[in-house]
Structures are given as structure tokens and as C-alpha cells.
Amino acid sequence: MNPLISVRNLKKHFDVGEGMLKAVDGISFDIHEGETFGLVGESGCGKSTAGRTMIRLYEPTEGELLFNGQNVYELSSREMKEVRKNFQMIFQDPYACLNPRMTVEDIVAEPLDIHKICHSKKERRKRVMELLELVGLGKEHAMRFPHEFSGGQRQRVGIARALALNPKFIVCDEPISALDVSIQAQVVNLLKDLQAKLGLTYLFIAHDLSMVRYISDRVAVMYLGHIMELADSEELYNTPLHPYTKALLSAIPIPNPKEQRNRHRIMLEGDVPSPINPPQGCRFVDRCMYATDICRQKTPRLEEVKTGHHVACHLVKEINKEVL
């Protein structure tokens, strides 16, 4: 089955005066229709930039994105407007992404207005009410302003707006990180329900590894603009192969105190290097306990080491002799 989205050697560099900031530096992966693809990593690793570049909120420096076999980076602005109906985004901050001067009805209807979907006010209002009901809000919310809502309700408004044009692909850019923990599960369950009901495909960007495991079918681990590991969700969490993934997963707290006391926490030395001047060879080389000369000289390619399990590490077989 052909993937819905294919990312090929995607790069996004920013000129910051003292050099080029390599936020995303050559990533490739596929996302299949109806799946949730998780993208995880530390703050500043390039996750959000990758998501925004994929749907052309940022213009790419290099690479291509194939949507139904068509490279969207080659499309003119007129052609892109048609394709854009299929690409939507749910933003991280439910406070900043809604216009405080617009009512909820106007916020949700804005995509309908831009693409001239509705031909009358009655049709427009009916569609807005359908969308609000879909995300668990009522018609009594339509004439209120964003400041009258809680964070979770605002994020529901943002989700309703993202669904207005019946998109096929939605980038969820840390959609729960600004919400209370008690509300996070509600929003994630809403996203899962909507996916089942509407056949949506998600790119789910987050740094909460437990939540990513819960919602994602496959997960890619990103570090300093590169993908280090990519596998099915359960496979990645049960059998991490890259030293960086192992360190990340060892930091997840376990609710059982006895297990938590007995587990080994992998502490990484040093800080994340600057994306303006990343290290030669493997991006993780300065913090990796296994690093050798080849790691400093040659950038490892993301290669399949088990069925469906890809790792970018020269020493993956030596490090994981017991499972490979």
C-alpha cells in the first residue's frame, strides 16, 4: 500500500547571522493513511520545525514531500491552496492560536470562509455547530470569545477549526503540553475517537514519551535535526536499540515504587550541541558512551536492522548483541 505522506531528505535551515541553524537536516519517513506517526525528542531537536515545514508553513531548504504521489513543494500558490484543504495543524498553545477578538463561531468558520465552502450564513452556521458537537462543545459556546474558556476547551475549538475542511492529514504540534494533566487524557482520547470516526492521519509531535506510546502506531526519535530511530510504537518502547533512545526511555517514571528503585537510569554527559555548529559524523557522538572514531568521521544512515525497525548508528549490532 502506498503511503499517504512520504518525506524525502527534508531540510530546513535558518540564516541566523552567525551561520546557518540546521533545525531539520535530512530526514526521511513515510506516513500511511489512517495511522498516527509519533515524533519525539528533546526541546529544540527540530520536531515542530519538521511538522511546519512538511505542510509548507515554512518553505523547505531542500527535499520533497509526496502527498498521494505528488511533490507539494513544486506546486504554485494556486495549486497549493487546493492541496492545503487536506493539510491542517493543531497548535501547541491554545491561548495564542485563537484570535481573542473573534467569536468561536467565526474562528471555526474561518477556513470555510477562506476557501468559500459555504454559500449562505445558514449553511455556515450549521457546519460550525456540527464541528463544535464533534469535539464535545455545544451551540451555546458559539457566540463566546476565547478568554471565556478553559485551556482544554480552547484546544477543542482549535481541533474543530482544523477539522472544518475535512482534511486527510493533521499535524498535532504538542497539542497537550500546555494543558493540565487531568485534561491531557481527554484531548488525546478525543483525537483517537475523531481518527476512528473520520479516518484521519496524524503526525503527533511531543516530548511526553508515555503519551506518544499510547496514541502512536509508529514512532521516530529525533535528535539535533536527525532521526536516530524509527519503529512500531511497542517495539521501540520494549526494545530500544539506539543509545539516545535508551537514555530517553530510562527517564520515564514507573508508577511502581519497587520497579522504579531497581531500574537503571542512563545519565547523558554534557549538553545538546548547537544546531548552528553540529558535530561532524553522528550528531549524538559527544554524549554517547559507545562512540568510536567512525562515529566522529561519518554520519550513520537510518537503516533497517530488524523488520520495520530502523536505526542510525554505526555500532548498533555491537551494542545490542543480545537482541540482534
Instruction: Report pLDDT for 12.
Output: 97
CB atoms within 10 A of CB 133: 12
Q: What is the CA radius of gyration of the chain?
A: 21
Amino acid identity for residue 134 in this structure: L
Mean pLDDT, residues 246-251: 89
Helix H, strand E, coil C: the string for 166-178 is: CCCEEEEECCCCC
Instruction: Report pLDDT for 208.
Output: 82
Instruction: Report pLDDT for 169.
Output: 97
How far apart are the C-alpha atoms of 316 and 104, rounded to whole Å? 51
Comparing 57 with 253, the larger pLDDT belongs to: 57
* Grid cell of 270 as nine digits: 554534557
Mean pLDDT, residues 6-21: 93
* Grid cell of 269 as nine digits: 554527559
How far apart are the C-alpha atoms of 56 and 47, rounded to whole Å? 14
User: How far are the Cα atoms of 7, 215, 286 from residue 94, in angstroms, in the given order?
Assistant: 28, 20, 37
Instruction: Report pLDDT for 182.
Output: 85
Comparing 260 with 36, the larger pLDDT belongs to: 36
Residues 178-225 have pLDDT tens digits of: 888 889 999 999 999 999 999 999 999 998 888 899 999 999 999 999
Mean pLDDT, residues 128-153: 94
What is the average pLDDT value for the chain, to the nearest integer?
Answer: 92
Of the candidates 183, 114, 194, which has an alpha carbon nearest to the alpha carbon of residue 160?
Answer: 194
Of all residues in the chain, the percent with pLDDT exceeding 70 is: 99
Q: Compute the C-alpha angle 12/16/18, nearest 5°.
A: 125
Confidence check: pLDDT of 255 > 80: no
CB atoms within 10 A of CB 36: 23
Say what the pTM is. 0.94
- Which CATH code is given to the segment(s) 5-86+167-319? 3.40.50.300
Please give the torsion angle defined by the CA atoms of residues 39, 44, 46 and 52, in that order, rounded to the nearest 10 degrees: 90
Instruction: Report pLDDT for 260.
Output: 66
Residues 65-121 have pLDDT tens digits of: 999 889 999 999 888 988 999 999 999 888 899 999 999 999 999 999 999 999 999
Instruction: Report pLDDT for 85.
Output: 92
- Per-residue pLDDT band for 251 (boundaries 50, 70, 90) equals confident
How far apart are the C-alpha atoms of 68 and 206, rounded to whole Å? 26
Mean pLDDT, residues 162-185: 92
Residues 284-306 have pLDDT tens digits of: 999 999 999 999 999 999 999 99
Instruction: Report pLDDT for 267.
Output: 78
Residues 36-78 have pLDDT tens digits of: 999 999 888 999 999 999 999 999 999 999 998 899 999 998 8
